[in-house]
């Protein structure tokens, strides 16, 4: 098996539970790059939330790419050139927001620079997202959200048990219209129908002249499923609790707190 491109999730995969990028993981990534393998961070985070990791891994050179917003945005991490951008239209935002109000669930929308919420009582999970990705929060009513704001993705955020109930109440027509994925127990993402990690990986590989059979994907959550299914070879993290992830992957590595990603690189990619 010859792997030329590795798509790796961040939270629960690349970094530890304490959000640390270990030396062993760095060394494995550096060795993969020395051997000509492309390492592509593929995450639900917005771009500002990955800048530090890209810098630590030196993934900011010409020819480096990053997939963010759960596949809604694919770009060259050195030049900023955008290969794919599948955001949410203003009308779609209004529809997503209306559904949130009907179901009484907290929601926020994310652009390239800010997190916007119309919830007067801002969810602690919106604050958590802001802290995690380093983006400021702005309170804006629905009327203040104008068509020129270029929303890239939206999220329903709430207590895990309540969020599960909300998801179960979503009409099929709504689920069919958007890409919907749970990225954590308290985050449910509603995206452009064309946006997914799998679609982004497939498009990027094609643009780079790499066969999909020459790609590997590593992840742990529901929002990783599309890329795990799309890649030529897929690896589940040992810390995953998602049964579907275990069913679709070709192998299982150690947990994110045991350098599982580095282990997968050494075992399946590096020569």
User: Which residues, in sequence order, are bridge partners of residue 5?
Assistant: 38, 215
DSSP string, 11-74: IIIIS-TT----HHHHHHHHHHHHTT-EEEEE-SS-GGGTHHHHHHTT--STT-EEEEGGGTEE
Instruction: Write out the catalytic residue numbers.
Output: 9
Q: Is there a contact between 233 and 215 (Cβ–Cβ < 8 Å)?
A: yes
Edge-to-edge strand ranges of the sheet holding 106-110: 137-139, 115-117, 106-110, 153-157, 187-191, 179-184
């Amino acid at each position: 098996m010859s792997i030329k491109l590795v798509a790796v999730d961040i939270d629960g995969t690349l970094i530890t539970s304490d959000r640390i990028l270990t030396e062993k993981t760095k060394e494995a990534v550096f060795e993969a790059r020395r051997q000509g393998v492309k390492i592509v961070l593929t995450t639900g985070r917005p771009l500002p939330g990955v800048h530090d990791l890209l810098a630590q891994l030196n993934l900011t050179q010409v020819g480096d790419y990053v997939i963010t917003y759960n596949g809604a945005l694919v770009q060259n991490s050195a030049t900023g050139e955008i290969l794919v951008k599948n955001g949410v239209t203003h009308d779609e935002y209004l529809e997503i927001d209306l559904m949130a109000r009907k179901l009484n669930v907290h929601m926020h929308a994310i652009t390239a620079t800010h997190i916007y919420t119309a919830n007067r009582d801002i969810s602690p999970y919106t604050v958590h997202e802001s802290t995690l990705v380093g983006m400021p929060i702005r309170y804006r009513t629905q009327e203040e959200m104008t068509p020129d704001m270029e929303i890239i993705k939206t999220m329903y955020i709430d207590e895990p048990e309540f969020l599960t109930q909300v998801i179960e109440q979503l009409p099929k027509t709504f689920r069919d219209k958007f890409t919907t994925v749970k990225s954590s127990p308290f985050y449910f993402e509603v995206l452009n129908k064309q946006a997914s990690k799998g679609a982004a990986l497939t498009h990027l590989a094609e643009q780079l002249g790499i066969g999909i059979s020459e790609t590997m994907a590593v992840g742990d959550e529901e929002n990783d499923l599309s890329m795990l299914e799309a890649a030529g070879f897929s690896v589940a993290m040992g810390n995953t609790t998602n049964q579907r992830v275990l069913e679709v992957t070709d192998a299982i590595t150690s947990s994110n707190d045991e350098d599982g990603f580095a282990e997968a690189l050494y075992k399946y990619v590096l020569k």
